[in-house]
Amino acid sequence: MPIRRRPPDLLRRSLLAAPALIVLVPEAFAAAIVTPAQTRGPYYPVAKPADSDLDLTRVAGRSQRAEGEVIEVTGRVLSARSGPVAGVGVEIWQADNQGRYHHPRESAGTADPNFQGFGAVRTGAAGDFLFRTIRPRFYGSGAFTRTPHVHFRVVAPGRPELVTQMYFPGEAMNARDALFRSLPGEAARDALTAVLEAADLPRYRFDIVLA
């Protein structure tokens, strides 16, 4: 008795249909790699500011806005296995428009008093977060020059914390930054490089994928 074969077109269709059954998370996320960790660096706040909200461009009780180009940094925290994670603590800290941190290691009083320097939020139901801040300036000199970057600390319940850094797309200094260069390959560098979504008020998207 001859072996019955499935008609080729039916077989092809079932193969094409198969990925749709397996992929339970959005396409853009399915292709993403787990976000690489990077050093915390020396400038994590010793004392977090009283005003630690999502808007780093204004400090409560002060009338002036922070110096520099205002930007938004937005994204989602995703689990590599199960998609968006709600209720995750996301912290950022960064240099100001002169490349200075609010930290005892800086010369006292040199950081912009109108710049909050640190912000903390929790992700929403879709794993989403948003900060309003300024584009940080580079700092350091010679081989120790740091390209503009934003530090992130992500604390999800039941998981080890993730500390990493976000870089800006199209920034020429990235190629000379020792920490950026130390990332193992293009996929890792892409994972830590934000995507410019809107240019009028520059909005950078930085999705974070937890293992």
What tokens appear for 5 in the block? 């074969």
> Is residue 89 part of the contact set for Fe ion (CB under 5 A)?
no
Interface stretch with Fe ion, choices 3-11, 19-27, 33-41, 200-208 (CB under 5 A) = 33-41
Among candidates 193, 198, 195, which has minimal Cα distance to 36? 193
The answer to whether the beta carbons of residues 82 and 53 sit under 8 Å apart is no
- Shortest Å, Cβ 26 to Fe ion: 31
**Nearer to Fe ion (CB atom), residue 84 or residue 115:** 115
CB 35 within 8 A of CB 77: no
**Interface with Fe ion includes 45 (CB under 5 A)?**
no
What distance in Å separates the CA atoms of residue 155 and residue 121, rounded to the nearest whole number? 11
Sign of CA dihedral 109, 50, 58, 38: positive
Strands in 28-127 per DSSP E: 70-79, 83-84, 89-94, 118-122
Could you tell me how far CA 123 lies from the centroid of its own chain? 13
41 touching Fe ion, by CB under 5 A: yes
User: Whole-number minimum distance, CB 190 to Fe ion, in Å?
Assistant: 20
Q: Which is nearer to Fe ion, 76 or 146 (CB)?
A: 146
Segment interacting with Fe ion, rule: CB under 5 A, options 5-13, 40-48, 83-91, 188-196: 40-48
- 74: tokens are 């937005």
Nearer to Fe ion, 39 or 64 (CB): 39
Nearer to Fe ion, 41 or 83 (CB): 41
Q: How many residues line the site for Fe ion (CB under 5 A)? A: 1
- The residue ranges that bind Fe ion (CB under 5 A) are 41
